Structure 1
Amino acid sequence: MTATSFMNLNDLEPTPKVVLSYGLGEDSTAIILRWLEDPSSRDFDLSELAIVTAMTGNEWERTRGAVETLVLPRLAAAGVRFIQAARTRRHVTKAGDGIVILDDSRSPSKLYLEGDYTLYQEMVEAGTIPQSGGMRA
């Protein structure tokens, strides 16, 4: 996969007033679902929100399935902007250089787990031994 095969950040969108970093885990998922379902839990309009996920390239397929089934349809129904980004190489030297936007949409339907450069690749190149034992739940 190459960076040129993906889109750029949508410049037609206004700068978001609220940004949530979505790590695809339980806590950030719970925040998103609460904000979508309970307007009293937030002090902003959903049109002012951008949710950003930085793809590491090492997520489980079951994570993709859960997010595509349970979260993305709700984001799309509410018109919430969801930005998926990934790195294209180890060193990001200046703004936007070395980053690829996998998707930037208010009607997301796919979670892109891939990227040109994964966290695993960085760990190997840096001489860090990735954890391979134990339970990851």
Structure 2
Amino acid sequence: MNAVSRTGGQDVELVINWGLGVDSTAYLVKMLEDPSAHGVDLARTMVLHELTGDEWPATRAHASQYVLPLLREHRVRLV
């Protein structure tokens, strides 16, 4: 598997594209809640995130309130 090199010589093995949709959010939360059950090393995981501007205000608020704290708690790199 090719890995993405990041600062400090650590490699990123898993890149998750998170667009605030139901599917990508559910996948992301599953990985954060129990990474070992899915064979995921969160220290080697990166989440790519971009807003298009068409998101519902409630969706953005829920992401900020629930998902971003999980990413911080697990120290997952968010780009």
TM-score, length-scaled by structure 1: 0.48
Structure 1 stretches of 4+ moved >4 Å: none
Alignment TM-score, normalising by the size of structure 2: 0.78
The answer to whether the 8 A contact 2:20-2:60 is kept is no
Q: Deviations over 1:84-124 (max 9, x none)?
A: xxxxxxxxxxxxxxxxxxxxxxxxxxxxxxxxxxxxxxxxx
Larger relative contact order, structure 1 or 2 (CA cutoff 8 Å, min sep 6): 2
- State how far apart, in whole Å, the 1-side matches of 2:44 and 2:7 are: 14
Q: Which residue of 1 aligns with 2:66?
A: 70
Percent of aligned pairs with the same amino acid: 37
Among residues 22, 26, 31, which one is paired with 1:35 in the alignment? Answer: 31
Aligned alpha-carbon RMSD (Å) = 1.7
Unaligned runs of 5+ in 1: 1-10, 84-137
**Matched positions, count:** 73
State the shift of 1:15 in Å. Answer: 4.2
Q: Which has the larger radius of gyration?
A: 1
Task: Return the structure number with greater helix share.
Answer: 2
